[in-house]
A and B are shown apart, each in its own frame.
Chain A
Amino acid sequence: GDSVTQMEGPVTLSEEAFLTINCTYTATGYPSLFWYVQYPGEGLQLLLKATKADDKGSNKGFEATYRKETTSFHLEKGSVQVSDSAVYFCALSDPVYGNTPLVFGKGTRLSVIA
């Protein structure tokens, strides 16, 4: 079945550092890919998404590019802030399986220190 693998956390960075959170996937079809963010004590929010190969999703300074050749969707930000401290989830939706839930990675906790 389909799966999503994220880098293990926690990741601790200083403010203004460069962030990369790796995400790779396996899928039967041609999936759509997502990054969600969960701030402490809250539900998940959609951060960005990409629906086809070479698409770049971007939001709030975060970017991720859909790389079909490496089956990856790594999340990047050039300069993180303390307010970016959260758990980040990579996910996919595979149209082969029709109307089924997203497949999520296990999440990566990011802590940004001033």
Chain B
Amino acid sequence: SQTIHQWPATLVQPVGSPLSLECTVEGTSNPNLYWYRQAAGRGLQLLFYSVGIGQISSEVPQNLSASRPQDRQFILSSKKLLLSDSGFYLCAWSVTGETQYFGPGTRLLVL
């Protein structure tokens, strides 16, 4: 069966510090991968998605970037965090482009 992992689960970072969040999927090959952000009490904001290694589509211009160094690994990064980057970051995967399956999320607090 397929599983999706995200780490860390919780992160507290100072403004201006770098960020690296990791997402890995097991039990499937060549998945579509997605990064979402959810601000407190708000809906989902799609940040990036990838249909293959090295293929990244950015939905919202900002100080975040994404990379897919391996088939089942998706990384969200920032060189300098802003207060507005605080939120709940969710990774998801799909095979058909239809049903998406979500990870447990990473809660990021920027102080």
Contact = CB atoms under 8 A, between A and B. Distances in A.
Nearest to B48: A101
Interface residues of B, number: 20
B20 interface: no
Interface of A: 32, 34, 36, 41-46, 49, 89, 93, 98-102, 104-107
Contacts of B103: 43
B97 A98 contact: yes
Contact of B44 (A45, A89, A99): A89
7 contacts: A44-B102, A99-B51, A101-B32, A101-B34, A101-B46, A102-B100, A107-B43
A46 B99 contact: yes
The winner among A49, A102, A106 for most chain B CB atoms within 10 A is: A102
Interface in B12-36: 32, 34
A93 B49 CA distance: 15
